A and B are shown apart, each in its own frame.
Chain A
Amino acid sequence: MTGGIGTVVSDPRVWAAILVIGALTYGIRLSFIHLFGRIDEVPARVRRPLRYVPPAVLAALVLPDLVTVGPSLAGTVVDERLLAGVVAGAVAWRTENVFATIAVGMGALWLLRFVVLA
């Protein structure tokens, strides 16, 4: 394993994760493409919860990166990340464009971090 960057040493844990996630993900992708003819449709019992995977997962990925909740109100961190996130959220809503959302969000973060709150 040749680490390309700096002196970072390859971690067997990382490769284990990559291989197992890769195998599971491929299994998910192949599932019904492979089974077609035997099982032609996702059973309703499975389809219902799957419908909510994208919003639930994406929100669970986003919000903890914007807000840090502490044990008390004072420990709750509201900083430039949340403000930049709100601005980017508005752009995402108006444009539904990944590039515009990243550009405006990063711009807002830098403006707040290096100019407004500096």
Chain B
Amino acid sequence: MTRMDGDVLHEDLAAGVRDVTPLMLGIVPFALVAGIAAVDAGLTLAEAVGLSVIVFAGASQLAAIDLLGSNAPLAVVIGTAAVINLRMMMYSASIAPYFADYARRTRAGLAYLLTDQAYALSIAEYERNDGRSRWRYYLGAAASLWIVWQIGTVVGVVVGAGVPDAWGLTFAVPLVFLALLVPAMKDRPTTAAGIVGGAVAVVAAGLPLNLGLLVGAVCGIAAGMATEVTAS
């Protein structure tokens, strides 16, 4: 990533920015919620921003905030967040061939910006249009998401601190997940994974150490795999 030729923005970089723009409608409220939930759990502005910059993965941030706020053991906070982010290993594997020609340092930088949205957009574009500069397109989408995510977090922290608790703004957290959950349940095994994961998490919510989420997730994954076996 050494030069920027062309006019203000390289055409491929601009294409990434353009394609990611409609997705911001979902990202902005998500980022605001990440900031609001952080304040609500007693995190400072520095901690909220630290989380958004260093982790930069919304679902795991919200889960970690929730667990930190309820004084869960550190190992449970970390384990839960890591399990949530494991899905990105699939993205890493899927996008890896497209980045194979880049220098190790470039790949290390691109990996930091890997998100659900940047992955989905880029893979679709790479398969559609072979002429694109891959890193430029990806950077256009991924860096836009990064910038909006950070600004949204800060605004959320500031706004969240001024809203009365009775408004229940943190209810937006399960709503964000709900919006992601519904399309993730796309066939029988994934639906089984969702139903079992959710039901077990509800029943296990009283477990010590706040292990409910982790136990629910593991049972849901097992249920998905079991259903897959039964179906085939």
Chain A residues with a Cβ under 8 A of chain B: 1-6, 8-11, 13-22, 24-26, 28-37, 40-42, 46-69, 81, 84-85, 88-89, 92-93, 96-99, 101-102, 105-106, 109-110, 113
Chain B residues with a Cβ under 8 A of chain A: 25-30, 33, 39, 42-47, 50-51, 54-57, 59-60, 62-64, 68, 74, 77-78, 81-93, 95-97, 99-100, 104, 107-108, 110-112, 114, 157, 161, 166-169, 171-185, 189-191, 193-203, 205-206, 212-213, 216-221, 223-225, 228
| B205 lies within 8 A of A52 (CB) | no
Which 8 residue pairs are nearest across A and B when measured between Cβ atoms?
Answer: A56-B220, A4-B45, A52-B224, A59-B198, A98-B26, A60-B216, A56-B197, A3-B44
- Not counting A17-B78, A40-B97, A56-B218, a sample of 7 additional A-B residue pairs whose C-beta atoms are within 8 angstroms of each other reads A18-B55, A58-B181, A61-B63, A66-B174, A67-B202, A96-B183, A102-B29
Q: How far is the CA of A57 from the CA of B44 in the complex (A)?
A: 27
Q: Which of A9, A11, A32, A97 has the most CB of B within 10 A?
A: A32
Residue of A nearest to B115 (CB): A29
B residues less than 8 Å from A110 (CB atoms): 167-168
Residue of A nearest to B62 (CB): A61
Query: Majority SS of interface residues in chain B?
Result: helix
Q: How far is the CA of A28 from the CA of B115 in the complex (A)?
A: 11
| A13 lies within 8 A of B172 (CB) | no
Q: How far is the CA of A81 from the CA of B83 in the complex (A)?
A: 26
